[in-house]
Structure 1
Amino acid sequence: METILSIKNLSKNYGLVQAVKNVSLEIQKGNVYGILGPNGSGKSTTLGIVLNVVNKTSGEYSWFGGTMQTHDALKKVGAIIERPNFYPYMTAQENLELVCKIKNINYSKVTEKLTLVGLIDRKDSKFRTFSLGMKQRLAIASALLNDPEILILDEPTNGLDPQGIHQIRDIIKHIASQGTTILLASHLLDEVEKVCSHVLILRKGEILYSGSVDSVSANQGFFELQAEDNTALKASLQRHSAIEKITEDNGKLLVYLKEPLEAVTLNRYLFERNIALCHLVKRKVSLEEQFLELTNSQSSIINHQSKIIKE
């Protein structure tokens, strides 16, 4: 599979603050990658470096297998890393035609991209009349005018209302379905889980996880169980070899697995021990829960290391 962007051991220091620490990532053609992390985790800095607007401290990156210089490679990249910035007194069409003129792109692309982002009926409306969501969609249309091989978005739904968020996500999915590679930075777990095929999770500039979204949330899941006698239920569950741990929440037992176990098999196991369930639901651990587990585990490691150093 063709490599669009390769990042190796990238670091960025701002004085004593290390914003990015040895980040590595391979962006393969046709996938949707998310860089996930809270504010200050190094997401925007990483994007700024590969877009040649932030100088790296160390490490390296290369576009399209290193076959071209960054300046030439960026001609095949579409990016939105700041708030949409167009002339307020010009219409949507006029603003995009100006971008086409600057970048030497055929004007025919304007109608095509306005249609793609759902703004063709507002092509003659002035930019100042647009909502924040419409401004963001126009920015995406502008970034797509040169038919880029990869589209880079920094917090594409930040500040939008639920309808605007839904529209942007649908547009991203549609663009991806046409074969465009996408790299987006977000602090929203839900956004990455619904839109991305791959995720890089950052915390304070360091990688906590890198791989497919399915893999990070791939787990045996857990059961929500309840019986008239939860004490007897718990005692029976603790003797099952597939069960890793049991917790309790609002009168229900949350049963986490260490190996595959189907609901019908578990129900039969309990019935044979004279336990009748009044509630049985199997759930998958969400990306949010996995993310919190990763960040909490990292915090525990850091706290433990600090304790050792102090001792």
Structure 2
Amino acid sequence: METILSINGLHKKFGKIHAVNNVSFEIQKGNVYGILGPNGSGKSTTLGIILSVVNKTGGNYSWFNGRLETHEALKKVGAIIERPNFYPYMTAYQNLKLVCEIKGVPFSKIDEKLEVVGLSERKDSKFRTFSLGMKQRLAIASALLNDPEILILDEPTNGLDPQGIHKIREIIKLIAAQGTTILLASHLLDEVEKVCSHVVVMRKGVVLYTGTVDGMINSEGFFELQSDDNAKLENLLAQHPSVSTIKLNDGKVTVYLKGTLEAGELNRYLFDNGICLSYLVKRKNSLEEQFIQLTSNQPEN
């Protein structure tokens, strides 16, 4: 699989603040990546560095397996890292015509990209009449005009109402389905879980996790159990090699795993040892639970 972007040991210091601290990860073609972290985690600074609007302090990055210099590679990149900035007295179509002239893109692309973001019917409306969500969608259309290989979005749904958030997320999914690689920064767990295939978790400039979203949502999961003899149940569970932690809450025994264990296998093990379960459910840890666990385990500076 082609590597679109490779980041190795990236650093950025603003005085005493280490905003980006030894950050490394790769973006592979055809996936949707989320850089997830609270405000101040270094997400936007990392994007600024790879887009050549922020100077790095150390480390390196390369585009398209190092085949292209950064200024050439950025011609294949579409990005929105600030609030949409268009002429308010001009229509959506007129604003995109200006972008086409700057990028050397044929005007025929305008209608195509307005259709992608659902603004075809408003192409002759002045920008100043647009809602915040429509302004963001026009910015996405602008970033898509040159048919980029990768689209970079910094907090794409920030400040939007629920309807606007839903619309932007659907557009991102559509763009990804058409084969464009996407990298977005977000502090919203829900956004990453619903939109992204891969995630990079950052806190205070440090990468805590990089990999698939499914991989982060603990594939081993956990069980909720109940029987007539929870004391004996807990004792048997503690002896099982796949069991990590056992907790009792409201009459139910919660069992966290350290290895693969299917419900049928666990039920058989307990039955063979004299326990009949009245309740058995297997669940997966949510992205939120995993994120909290990751970030709370990192020591304070």
Fold shared, TM-score > 0.5 on shorter chain: yes
Aligned AA (1:204):
K
Question: How far 1:42 moved relative to its partner?
Answer: 0.4
Q: Which moved more, 1:40-49 or 1:3-12?
A: 3-12
Q: Is residue 255 of structure 1 aligned with residue 255 of structure 2?
A: yes
* Superimposed CA distance per residue, residues 51-89 of structure 1 (whole angstroms, 9 cap, x where no aligned partner): 111111111112222222222221111000011111222
Q: Which moved more, 1:284-293 or 1:139-148?
A: 284-293
CA distance in 2, matches of 1:249, 1:42: 38
Q: Which moved more, 1:94-103 or 1:266-275?
A: 266-275
CA distance in 1, matches of 2:101, 2:248: 63
Q: TM-score, normalised by structure 1?
A: 0.91
Residue in 2 that maps onto 1:8 = 8
Aligned AA (2:280):
L
CA distance in 1, matches of 2:213, 2:298: 19
CA distance in 2, matches of 1:272, 1:193: 39
Say if 2:218 and 2:290, in contact at 8 Å, map to a contact too. no
CA distance in 2, matches of 1:234, 1:12: 49
Residue in 2 that maps onto 1:175 = 175
* Superimposed CA distance per residue, residues 173-220 of structure 1 (whole angstroms, 9 cap, x where no aligned partner): 111111111111111122212222222111110111122222222431
CA distance in 2, matches of 1:24, 1:241: 35
Residue in 2 that maps onto 1:81 = 81
Question: How far 1:228 moved relative to its partner?
Answer: 4.2
Partner-residue secondary structure (3-state), 2:94: helix
Q: Which moved more, 1:59-68 or 1:204-213?
A: 59-68
Residue in 1 that maps onto 2:237 = 237
CA distance in 2, matches of 1:7, 1:181: 16
Residue in 1 that maps onto 2:226 = 226
Instruction: Note the 1:108-257 alignment, pairs <5 A.
Output: 108-257=108-257
Q: Which moved more, 1:176-185 or 1:66-75?
A: 66-75
Question: How far 1:250 moved relative to its partner?
Answer: 3.6
Residue in 2 that maps onto 1:61 = 61
5+ long unaligned stretches in structure 2: none
CA distance in 1, matches of 2:172, 2:270: 46
CA distance in 2, matches of 1:160, 1:169: 11
CA distance in 2, matches of 1:59, 1:239: 47
CA distance in 2, matches of 1:129, 1:198: 36
CA distance in 2, matches of 1:18, 1:241: 42
CA distance in 1, matches of 2:248, 2:81: 44
Question: How far 1:235 moved relative to its partner?
Answer: 2.9
Question: How far 1:21 moved relative to its partner?
Answer: 0.8
Partner-residue secondary structure (3-state), 2:298: helix
CA distance in 2, matches of 1:61, 1:236: 51
CA distance in 1, matches of 2:6, 2:128: 39
Residue in 2 that maps onto 1:38 = 38
Q: TM-score, normalised by structure 2?
A: 0.93
Percent pairwise identity: 71
Residue in 1 that maps onto 2:70 = 70
Residue in 1 that maps onto 2:287 = 287
Aligned AA (1:122):
R
For the aligned residue pairs, the C-alpha RMSD in angstroms reads: 1.8
Aligned pair count reads: 301
